[in-house]
A and B are shown apart, each in its own frame.
Chain A
Amino acid sequence: MELGLNGYAALSQVGTGLRQRIFSRAFIIADPNDTNNTIVYLIVDAQSGDTAVRHGVLQGLAALGGEYARYGEHNVALSGTHAHSAPGGWMNYLLPQIPNKGFDKQSYQALVDGVLLSIQRAHESLAPGRLTHGTTEIVDGNANRSPYSYLANPEEERSQYQYNTDKTMTMLKFDRTSDSKTTGILTFFSVHGTSLYENNTLTAGDNKGVAAWLYERSVANDTRYADDFVAGFSQSSVGDTTPNVLGAYCEDTGLPCRFEDSTCGGKTEQCRGRGPYFQENDYGAKSCFEMGRRQYSAAKDLYEQLDSNGTQIVGSSSVASYHVYHDFTNYTFPSPFNSSTLKTCYAALGFNFAAGTTDGPGQFDFTQNGTGPAESNPLWYVARAFIHQPDAEQQACQAPKDILLDAGAVSLPYAWAPNIVDIQGFRVGQLMFIISPSEVTTMSGRRWKSAILNASTEVLGIEDPLVVLGSPSNSYAHYLTTEEEYGVQRYEGASTLYGPNELAGYVNLTLTYLPYLGSSSDVSKLSPIPAGPNPPINTNNSLSFITGVVYDGAASGQSFGDVLSTSPNTTYKPGDTISATFVGANPRNNLHQESTFAAVEFLDTSSGSWKTVRTDADWNLIYMWNRTNTVLGYSNATIAWQIEDDYYEIGNPNPVQSGSYRLHYYGDSKSVGGSITSFEGVTGAFTVSI
C-alpha cells in the first residue's frame, strides 16, 4: 500500500489494497548420493528476478549456515512470474526504481524474507522422490502482441511452428516415494502477467498467481497430494506474449489498432489489448481470473495424464549447475548460428521503448516501430544528451536502434541498468534449464532451446534431452529479441539492451558453459569457471522518495477497528458482494506476512464458534485501504467479499455453504511516539443463502 506497483512503470499505479497475497515458491532437486549437487528454482510473484533481491537471498542463505551452505550463486535461480500487480521499490538499478519513487527497504525485505522462508521450507521437506515430465497445449492461453515483429523472422523458420507464440505448457511432477503423494508441480508457460490493467492498484499475482492459487485450493481433499503441496507456474518465453487474447483495439473507435505500430490515429495511448472479459469495468480482474483458470485447467488435465503418458526424469546422479556474471559491454564472440564474429554493446533503450505495448501503452509522441514523430523531435535528443550522449561506436553497435536512454553508460547517482548479467544453467537428469535475465520472445526462446538441445546430445551425450526456459530471472535485463525482430524496433526490440546480437551472446555463453553440466568426473577435469565481474549492489545507497508511516489517528468518538458501514442487506447469495468499512490504520505498520488483514468467518452452529473460511490470500476477498485525513492520520479499511458463484468456485472442494458469516479486520496502528498496537474489527453476522 502507498507503494508503486512494479511492471507498467506508471507513476500513478500506487497500491491501495490487496486482491491476492503474493508468494515465493521454491523447488529443490538434489542428487541423493551427493547433496552438494542440488538446484533451487524459485518462482516469485513479482515483475522479475533482481540482482539486489537475489544478493539478499544469497546473504540470507549464507547466514543460515549448516546444511544451507550447499546453496549459493551457482545453484539458486530467482525467476519472477512477471506479474505487473505486485509492489515495487525493491529493484537494484535506478531506471526501474523511478516509477516507484526509489527504493523501499520494507518492500525489499518482505520479498527477501519470503523467498528465504520458502527455501527453508523446501529444504526441510527434502525427501526421496521421482520427477515426471509432460506437456500440453493451451491454444487460448496467450497471443502475440507484436506479430509484426515476429513476421520479420525467416519464413522457413516460422513455417516450422503452427503458432506465433509458444502454446506449450510443460509440467514437472514431484512425487514422494514414501507414500507416492505429489508434493509439487512446476510448470512453464509463456504469457505476460498483464491481465490486470495499468489502472489496477490492488496487489495480486496476476494470471499466474490465480493459476497457482486455484491449483493449491483444488487439492485440499485429494489424497493423491501431500499436505503443503505447492503449485508453481513459472514464466517462460514471455517477451512478445500477451494474455489480452482478443487482440488490440482502439478505445476511442473500437477499431483494430494499426498492425505495424499498434497506433490509433497515429498515437499509442488509445491502443489497448483486450482480455476475455474486457467489457467488465473491473481493472481487468475477471480477465485475469479467466487467464489463470485456463492455465490451472490445463495443468489439472495434464497432471491426470502424467502417470500414463509422462516421461520419467532419470539420472539422479546428474544434478548440476553453473553460474557466472558476464559483462555484455563490447563482448566479442563467434556466432553460435554461423561463422561470423559478433559483438554486444553496453545497455541502451531505444525510442520505441517509450511507446510501451498494447498491454500498457506509452505516452507523448512515441510509437512502436518508430513511425511517430518522436524520433524527429529534437527535444528528445536534448533529453538524451542531458542523460548521456551515446558515442558513434555505441550507436553503431546498437544500430538500427535509435537510442533514447544510453542507460548502461550512466552511473550517477548509481547504475541505471545492468551491463553485467547472470549466465546460469541447470541440469536435472536429461532435463536442461535455461535461466534468462531477459524477457525472451517466442522465436528467441525457440532458437535458444534448440541450440541447448542439440548441444546436450553432442556435448553431454544425453539421449532425448528435454529443455525448459525460465525468464525473467536473476538480474532483470529487459528484453531479448531475435536479430530480425530487433531490426523492426518495436517495444521489445527497443528494449533489447545489448544490441542486435544479444541473443547470439546468450546462446554463445550458455553453450560455452554447457560442459559444466556434465558428470562430476568430466567437470572435475575442466578449469574452474571464473566468477566474473561482480554487479553493483545498490541496496544501501539507493535513493528513496517514499514516505514512511508517521502515525495513525482515529476521529473523536471512534476507535481503530470500529465498523463505519456495511452493505445494507442481511441475506446474500453467490455473485453478490458484501463489504464493510472500518476505522483503519496504515497496513505498512505490519505486513501480516503469513497471516491476513481480512477474513470471512463462518458460524459453526454445532460448536458456536466462528471459523475462518476466507483470507486476503483468496481471490474473492479484497482488502482496501485509503487515507481520509493526512494531517490527522485518519484512514479507512474496507473489506469486500465477492461471494463465489459457480465460475469462481471451479475446483473448490470446500465451496461456500449456506449459513451465517461475518467479516473480520486485523490492523495495527502507529502512535505519535512510534509504538505499534494491534487491533481488530468485526461486523455483525449476515446470511449467505445458496
Chain B
Amino acid sequence: MARTGVIALLVGASLALLVVLQLLANTGLHETSSRFDFHPLRETRAGTDDDNVFLLGVGKADTTG
C-alpha cells in the first residue's frame, strides 16, 4: 500500500511537472511569436494562427550589364 502510494505520488508529481513544463513552453512560444511579429527570426519561423497572414519578402538588385 505504501509503495502504491509512493508510485502514485511519483506519477502525480511527474504529471504536474509535465503540465508546468508545457505551460512554460507555451509561454516561451508566445514570447517567440511576439518577437516574431517585430523581429523575424532567421533560424526559426514560428507559425501563426491567422490564415490571412503569410510570410512576405521583397528585394531589388542591379542587373545592369
Q: Which residues of A contact B (CB under 8 A)?
A: 3, 18, 21-33, 35, 38, 44-46, 67, 87, 89-90, 104, 106-111, 113-131, 174, 176-178, 183-184, 203, 228-230, 232, 312-317, 319, 428, 591-594
State whether the Cβ of B57 lies closer than 8 Å to any Cβ in chain A: yes
Min CB gap B58→A, angstroms: 4
- Quick one: CB contact mask for B20-51 with A, threshold 8 Å, 1 for yes? 00000000000000001110101001111011
State whether the Cβ of B1 lies closer than 8 Å to any Cβ in chain A: no
State whether the Cβ of B64 lies closer than 8 Å to any Cβ in chain A: yes
Q: A24-B63, A230-B60 are in contact. Are A31 and B52 (CB under 8 A)?
A: no
Interchain CB contact (< 8 A) of B56 among A25, A131, A232: A131
Q: A3-B65, A128-B36 are in contact. Are A174 and B53 (CB under 8 A)?
A: no
B57 and A177 within 8 A (CB): no
A119 and B48 within 8 A (CB): no
- Bound Cα distance A316, B60 (Å): 24
Q: What are 30 A-B contacts defined by CB distance under 8 Å? A: A3-B65, A22-B62, A25-B60, A26-B57, A26-B58, A26-B61, A27-B57, A28-B55, A28-B58, A28-B59, A29-B56, A32-B47, A67-B42, A87-B65, A107-B65, A113-B63, A114-B62, A117-B61, A118-B60, A120-B59, A122-B59, A123-B59, A131-B54, A174-B56, A177-B37, A183-B58, A228-B58, A316-B50, A316-B53, A593-B62
Q: A119-B59, A177-B37 are in contact. Are A30 and B54 (CB under 8 A)?
A: yes
Min CB gap B33→A, angstroms: 10
Min CB gap B20→A, angstroms: 27
Min CB gap A521→B, angstroms: 16
Min CB gap A321→B, angstroms: 14
Interchain CB contact (< 8 A) of B55 among A104, A110, A129: A129
Residue on B nearest A108 in the bound complex, by CB: B65
- Bound Cα distance A21, B60 (Å): 12
Contacts of A45 in B (CB 8 A): 63
A129 and B61 within 8 A (CB): no
- Bound Cα distance A45, B60 (Å): 11
- Bound Cα distance A32, B45 (Å): 7
| B-side interface residues, number (CB < 8 Å) | 25
Q: A126-B40, A128-B37, A178-B37 are in contact. Are A31 and B54 (CB under 8 A)?
A: yes
- Bound Cα distance A203, B62 (Å): 13
B60 and A24 within 8 A (CB): yes
Min CB gap A349→B, angstroms: 27
A127 and B60 within 8 A (CB): no
Contacts of A124 in B (CB 8 A): 57, 59
- Bound Cα distance A178, B61 (Å): 25
B63 and A114 within 8 A (CB): yes
Interchain CB contact (< 8 A) of B65 among A106, A126, A129, A594: A106
B53 and A32 within 8 A (CB): yes
Most buried by A among B37, B46, B58: B58
A26 and B55 within 8 A (CB): no
- Bound Cα distance A46, B38 (Å): 36
B38 and A178 within 8 A (CB): yes
- Bound Cα distance A317, B60 (Å): 26
- Bound Cα distance A278, B51 (Å): 50
- Bound Cα distance A229, B59 (Å): 8
- Bound Cα distance A104, B65 (Å): 10
Interchain CB contact (< 8 A) of A315 among B36, B45, B51, B58: B51
Given A21-B64, A127-B40, A591-B64, 14 other A-B residues pairs in contact with their CB atoms under 8 A = A23-B63, A26-B58, A27-B57, A27-B58, A28-B57, A30-B54, A30-B55, A114-B64, A123-B59, A126-B57, A128-B36, A228-B59, A315-B52, A591-B65
Q: A35-B45, A312-B52, A316-B51 are in contact. Are A25 and B62 (CB under 8 A)?
A: no
Contacts of A3 in B (CB 8 A): 65
- Bound Cα distance A177, B39 (Å): 11
Contacts of A313 in B (CB 8 A): 52, 54
Contacts of B37 in A (CB 8 A): 128, 177-178
B53 and A118 within 8 A (CB): no
Interchain CB contact (< 8 A) of B62 among A21, A90, A104: A21
Q: A128-B36, A178-B37, A178-B38 are in contact. Are A183 and B65 (CB under 8 A)?
A: no
Contacts of B52 in A (CB 8 A): 130, 312-316
Min CB gap B52→A, angstroms: 5
- Bound Cα distance A230, B37 (Å): 21
Residue on A nearest B44 in the bound complex, by CB: A35
- Bound Cα distance A27, B54 (Å): 12
Most buried by A among B45, B51, B53, B63: B63
Q: A106-B65, A107-B65, A178-B38 are in contact. Are A23 and B54 (CB under 8 A)?
A: no
Q: A32-B47, A127-B40, A128-B54 are in contact. Are A594 and B62 (CB under 8 A)?
A: yes
- Bound Cα distance A466, B53 (Å): 18
Q: A32-B53, A33-B48 are in contact. Are A115 and B40 (CB under 8 A)?
A: no
